[in-house]
Structure 1
Amino acid sequence: MMTFPSTIRTILFDLDGTLVDSAPDLWRATNHVITLRGRSELPLELVRDYVGNGARYLLARGLWGLGATPPEDDPDFEATVTAFLDYYRQHLTDHSFPYPGVVETLETLKRLNCPMAVVTNKPEFLTHLMLDDLDLTRFFPVVVGGDTLAERKPHPLPLHHAISRLQGTAATTVMVGDSETDALAAKNAGCKLILVSHGYNRGEPLEDLHPDGIIHHFNQLIELLGYPQD
């Protein structure tokens, strides 16, 4: 396995599909609201492909298919988003868990005093609730949600904001994610990129996103970064 130069000092993590397998609860919440609108329930694997750009895009795809975007001419859509968020908040971590190796890896990075942040397109209040529920808050002094700033990934602003708060630089930061959204955000921000193979990238080859590294289990991250291991 290749290793990164020792200049990497700061790590930014995506949440859904990277740290946490949250698709089962997103799937249930999506089906809850689309059936209220008279649509048929969707299979888990299809909804998994819809995750990554926030609740409004998830629901647009759930209602109208993968290429759909949030409509401007549907008076009921915002009410659907609100109903989704209300239901999802109540069932946020019923079936969602950190991927194998995540907690152990984060504990090692914390012992190494590595500055870490979560940068996600999930609403910030739901991000904090999920991190609290799964006992992950202790690893992340900085959390940037999809509604924290005026822009969200793949815009570079969320990454630059997190890097600044961690007192880092883009050149010494790596983004760890699972999708094209994360890849574009890292490129736009001038960061290195590591992708996880267990995430939500619609089955597309990760190599096509030109990451600096790919890991197939979270416990490979420490070695890839060239950090000392226990």
Structure 2
Amino acid sequence: MSCLAISFDLDGTLVETADEIARAVNLTLVDFDLAPRPPAEIEQLIGDGLRALMIKLLARILMEQPARVEWLDTDALLARLDAHYAAVVGSTARAYPGVREALQQLRDAGLPLACVTNKEGRHAQRVLDAAGLSDLIDVLVAGDTLAHKKPHRSVLITTAQLLKVKPGALAHVGDSRTDIEAARNAGVAAWAVPYGYNGGEPVALAQPQRLFAQIADVARHVLGGCEPAHQPAGALH
């Protein structure tokens, strides 16, 4: 495949955001007289958007404390979560080492770049701004941009259209099974990095077509200046 454009997941791929997400979640729980949860537990739920994360976490809490069902107002809790996250988003978000330099190299080479995330658009934009990456991203497709989120096939097909390439000329880079499935569903190249947030499961188990140690290696591979990426055993070709 000739790669003419690249899309990147946000949380856990381009930017480290777990700390501020955990902070917003725990501030919300305390507001509703619920005990804070370990940041590591919250991190394992990152990937499908903030509301989905909290709904999964509430399901665990209610399994442990079923009496809470009678008085817990989920809608009010989710609204408070959004307010807390709006207050902290971007406060500790940092681009992973080498990310900005790699994106700059790709842009300088003429490749259009997208960020595709299940995070709400207004929050995603603030993360990109805080991490100093906004000027390198041509298209942002967020969790509220379309009718569906990743891994629905429409997300990356639409991204390819916005970048003015065919799906077969787009590569998507993510850190999770959701990203790999989104790429497969859309017929785009499924690439991954091994760090980030994937529920504690190595992303290699999702069988990405290529697994890169870091975003800098993605740029080197695409621009033809380095060794090929590691291909996990059983990876699709």
TM-score, normalised by the number of residues in structure 2: 0.87
Note the C-alpha offset of 1:168.
0.6
> Matched residue of 1:50: which SS?
coil
Per-residue CA deviations over 1:125-161 (Å, capped at 9, x if unaligned) read 1111221222211111211110111111110112111
Match of 1:87 among 45, 64, 84: 84
1:54-100 CA deviation, whole Å, 9 max, x = no partner? 1121111222339x9xxxx9972122122111111111122110011
CA distance in 2, matches of 1:74, 1:59: 17
Q: Distance in 2 between matches of 1:177 and 1:29?
A: 24
**Shift in Å at residue 217 of structure 1?**
2.3
Secondary structure of the structure 2 residue equivalent to 1:60: helix
Amino acid paired to 2:157: H
Give the SS at the match of 1:104: helix
Say if 1:123 and 1:145, in contact at 8 Å, map to a contact too. Answer: yes
2:102 aligned with 1:109? no
> RCO higher in 1 or 2 (8 Å CA, sep ≥ 6)?
1
Q: Distance in 2 between matches of 1:224 and 1:202?
A: 27
Rounded Cα–Cα distance in structure 2 between residues aligned with 1:134 and 1:98: 5
CA contact (8 A) 1:39 1:63 kept: no
Bigger mean CA deviation after superposition, 220-229 or 155-164: 220-229
Find out whether 1:32 has 2:27 as its counterpart.
yes
User: TM-score, structure 1 length as denominator?
Assistant: 0.89
Which 4+ stretches in 1 moved above 4 angstroms? none
Which structure has the greater CA radius of gyration? 2
Deviation readout 1:168-227 (Å, 9 max, x if unpaired) = 111111110011110110010001111111110122122221101112222211233353
Q: Are the counterparts in 2 of residues 178 and 200 from structure 1 also a CA contact under 8 Å?
A: yes
**Contact preservation (8 Å) 1:34, 1:63:** no
Q: Distance in 2 between matches of 1:65 and 1:198?
A: 25
What amino acid sits opposite 1:171 in the alignment? G
Contact 1:34 1:41 in 2 (8 A): yes
RMSD value, Cα: 1.9
Alignment equivalent of 1:149, drawn from 146, 149, 162:
146
The aligned residue for residue 58 of structure 1 is 53
d(CA) in 2 for partners of 1:146, 1:27: 19
Residue 15 (structure 1) aligned to one of 10, 16, 38: 10
Comparing 130-139 and 51-60, the one that deviates more: 130-139
CA drift at 1:43: 1.3
Q: Which amino acid aligns with 2:180?
A: A
Contact 1:55 1:81 in 2 (8 A): no
Match of 1:121 among 94, 118, 121: 118
Partners of 1:64 and 1:17 in 2: CA distance: 24
Instruction: Say if 2:216 is the partner of 1:197.
Output: no
